[in-house]
Structure 1
Amino acid sequence: MYRQLMAHITFFMVKFLAFSAGCFACFLLHDQAHVALVLSAAVTGLVGTFIPFPARFGNHPYAAIYAGSFAGMCSSSLINSYWELSFISLIGASLYVLTMNLFAGFGGRLGSVAFASVALYMLAKGVF
């Protein structure tokens, strides 16, 4: 039971760190380095493929990096701090893990997860 719980936590943490890395890298590229949005997402996805992950995680960390880069494409006028990007990453990683087996074989899942994570954050920000 304990090992299974730790395996699930490890699985989520890898997804969260990968999603965060993609989100932060893309956001910093277009906000600080003034790289075009699409190019910053493409560079983030390309560089992310060279990060070695253990084989037990499969291709999921790479997909999470790319989904995070989609979320990182949000406008810098909407994001006031890096804590907000962290919260978007937490929402995005949670949605990624929850929908991992739900939309298997359907295109657009990564973009949908990125959109939903930013939209849910902006909705919560507007409410509170």
Structure 2
Amino acid sequence: MRAMIKFLLLKSITFFAGCMSCFVMHTTFALPLVISAALTGLVGSFIPFPKLYQNHPYAAIYAGSFAGMCSTSLITSYWEVAIISIIGATLYTLTLNAFAGFGGRLGSVAFASVALYSLAKGLV
């Protein structure tokens, strides 16, 4: 159980880093969304992680960059990025074995995390 919590925490941090860096590059530095996501994935690929986690931190960074590509009309504060990151990291961890071998999981997780947040924001 402790390992799962540690794994989820690592996913949350890396998903948040990817989401925040893509969002900041687009909003602050006015880079195009695709360039922001590509730079996030490129820079994130050079971060050393323990071999224990395989490629999961890198995938979480890239999935976070997909989530960070959403419109500034949806995300208006950095707290919202943090909430989307927690949702995205949880979905990523829950679907590790569910979608093994299928393509598009990272984009689907990013879409679902932003959609769930937007839905919950609209209901409140």
Code of the aligned partner of 1:122: S
For residue 46 of structure 1, what is the aligned residue in structure 2? 42
Matches within 5 A, 1:1-128: 5-128=1-124
Question: d(CA) in 1 for partners of 2:28 and 2:5?
Answer: 33
Question: d(CA) in 2 for partners of 1:14 and 1:53?
Answer: 10
Q: What is the root-mean-square deviation of aligned Cα atoms in Å?
A: 0.5
**What TM-score, normalized to structure 2?**
0.98
SS at match of 1:106: coil
Question: d(CA) in 2 for partners of 1:19 and 1:114?
Answer: 9
SS at match of 2:106: helix
Question: d(CA) in 2 for partners of 1:41 and 1:117?
Answer: 17
Aligned residues: 124
Q: Percent identity?
A: 67
**What TM-score, normalized to structure 1?**
0.95
Deviation at 1:29, TM superposition (A): 0.3
Unaligned runs of 5+ in 1: none
Which structure has the bigger radius of gyration? 1
The 4+ residue runs of structure 1 with deviation greater than 2 A are none
